Structure 1
Amino acid sequence: MRKPSDDLHLLFDTPGPRARRRIHIATAVSLSALAVLLALAVRQFAAHGQLDRSQWWMFAQWPVLRFLLDGLGHTLLATAVAAALAFPLGGLVALARLARSRALRAVARTYVELFRSVPLLLLLYVFLFGLPSVGLTLPVFWQLVVPIVLGNAAVVAEIFRAGVLNLPRGQTEAAHSLGMTYGQTLRHVVIPQALRALAPALVSQLIRLLKDSTLGYVVSYLELLHQAKVLGEYYHAVLSTYLVAAVAFIAVNAALSRTASWLESRRS
């Protein structure tokens, strides 16, 4: 069974002893520089009182932790709902782009190009200010989720379409030779294989969804970053509160990255 590293060897020569030595030296220098920068940052934090007990004592109180955990729960809820809507919608748009109808392909391509080009922040402002001006006001949760869905569905559509186009043509031709129609071939042969191949990429897309949810402050959605802002201003400990929120985001993103790596190893 071929491994991903086998394909990489087709593109790059295996490093020799001198190249490996240079790689090790560059890695050591980079890690040393990173350690120095981290030490300088800690020193500056200490010099400005950011490591004092007054900046951290509140995180030992359960009401404060519950306040942040509620924000994290809202963040994960928005991410999960957005993913549950964006992934199927992206799949449908990808199928429309692969359809035989020229008009359907044109509509799907217009959607993808439009929502890949428009910044998410601008979409949020449209739902926050534009729609209410014409008499349509969505709940705060959907003012955040719907723009995220529209933007990420366009990205998912291109990921899915690329995965379908990268499948070996022989399998499609074999399905046609068995008498399957175009729709049956997509449903029974192409789509299941594309989903298995794209599972790591789709899990990685969840990281983008998670980061997009931090724009919830625009619509006053009580996600983690919004809660950290409120808490930091209340206790006059903005930096320490944002650092705690950053650790929470890093932990969730690390779990998603590990899931993507596990799926990639299972696929290989």
Structure 2
Amino acid sequence: MAAASALYDIPGPKTRGRHRLYSLLALVGIAGLLSWVGYELVDTGQFSYTKWNPFQYKGIQRLLWHGLLNTLKAFGLAAAFALAFGVLFAAGRLSEHRPVRRFSTLVVEFFRAMPLLVMIFFIFVAMKVQPLWALVAGLTLYNGSVLAEVFRAGILAVPRGQREAAYALGMRKTQVMRHVLVPQANRAMLPSIISQLVVALKDTSLGFLITYEEFLHAGKLIATNLDYDLPFIPVVMVIAPVYIGMCLLLSWSAYAVERRGRRSVRLRGGPAVAPAGVPMGSPPEVGEHPVGQV
């Protein structure tokens, strides 16, 4: 028999039977829902040859591939700039100088509260910036502000004694931040950082509103084509798994980085300390120098 849990007792035969019944009912319900969705798709002709025919053409495939590359390009630029923006203004909010701290707080709170679509449209229309850079600028300002709060909260989450001990050893503030606080905060911040980068990846789809030729914009051109009987649902069924796959790949990459960080000597507290030459609590032998004496 399995060991008892500290949170609850091991379920008995009646409870296990009840759990099996609940699981079976849930599976039947999910199967019924999927069957109903499939029936509606077939009944409305979403799997007809006419609607799926465009995806076999080279021109359509190149259009989707070009849109995917543009999406990745916008995401790569926005992610790099947002991370740099977040680090810069998180450091500003942690600064000991009041003007720097207040200015950084004002910038972060303003762009974090501003709707992303409004920023993108303002940069694109009022400032007459090209669609790519308008999208990247909006994503950078919004996601960078959120990441600045993530970085600040991660640094402040490290126990205060770590900072005080580092200062007691004579470290400067930059050394304390680089060697003590940031390595310990990285593991706590990584899930939130990746979650925000996933949001940034999905928000690149707002580029189609300012005519940026990204992945969703390419799908929109195909879905609104009357020659293919408006294949909206087939386009969604093609585009959605690609977005989901990119987000899962990003999450898996973060998980791999986290696992590597757990094996890092730096994050584990450094290499093992060599045993002392004299046993703890025992005096040195006659004729020997005490440890540390020359």
Which residue in 1 is equivalent to 2:66? 70
Which residue in 2 is equivalent to 1:80? 76
Pairwise CA distance, 1:129: 2.3
Length-normalised TM-score, structure 2: 0.78
Pairwise CA distance, 1:29: 4.0
Does 2:24 align with 1:33? Answer: no
**Retained in 2: the 8 A contact 1:204–1:256?**
no
The CA distance in 2 between the partners of 1:170 and 1:252, in whole Å, is 40
The CA distance in 1 between the partners of 2:146 and 2:50, in whole Å, is 44
The structure with the largest alpha-carbon Rg is 2
Does 2:198 align with 1:169? Answer: no
The CA distance in 2 between the partners of 1:27 and 1:102, in whole Å, is 58
- SS of the aligned residue for 1:100 comes to coil
Which residue in 2 is equivalent to 1:238? 232
The CA distance in 2 between the partners of 1:181 and 1:149, in whole Å, is 31
Which residue in 2 is equivalent to 1:126? 122
Letter in 2 for 1:35: A
Which residue in 1 is equivalent to 2:195? 204
**1:110–1:260 Cα change, 3 Å:** same
The runs of 5 or more residues in structure 1 that have no matched partner are 1-8, 132-136
**1:20–1:227 Cα change, 3 Å:** farther
The CA distance in 2 between the partners of 1:22 and 1:144, in whole Å, is 52
User: Percent of aligned positions with the same letter in both sequences?
Assistant: 36
Which residue in 1 is equivalent to 2:254? 260
Superposition CA RMSD, Å: 2.3
The runs of 5 or more residues in structure 2 that have no matched partner are 263-294
Bigger helix share: 1
- SS of the aligned residue for 1:49 comes to coil
The CA distance in 2 between the partners of 1:66 and 1:156, in whole Å, is 35
**Retained in 1: the 8 A contact 2:67–2:215?**
yes
Which deviations, in whole Å up to 9, do the C-alpha atoms of 1:65-104 show, x marking residues without a partner? 2211111111011001000100011011111111111222
**Retained in 1: the 8 A contact 2:111–2:142?**
yes
1:58 corresponds to which of 29, 54, 58: 54
Which residue in 1 is equivalent to 2:283? none
**Retained in 2: the 8 A contact 1:83–1:149?**
yes
Q: Structure 1 residues 69-78 or 20-29, which shifts more?
A: 20-29
The CA distance in 1 between the partners of 2:157 and 2:31, in whole Å, is 42
Which residue in 2 is equivalent to 1:224? 215
**1:57–1:195 Cα change, 3 Å:** same
Letter in 2 for 1:45: L
Which residue in 2 is equivalent to 1:100? 96
Pairwise CA distance, 1:189: 2.1
**1:29–1:122 Cα change, 3 Å:** farther
How many residues end up aligned between the 2 structures? 253
The CA distance in 2 between the partners of 1:15 and 1:114, in whole Å, is 50
The CA distance in 2 between the partners of 1:246 and 1:15, in whole Å, is 42
Which residue in 1 is equivalent to 2:271? none
- SS of the aligned residue for 1:37 comes to helix
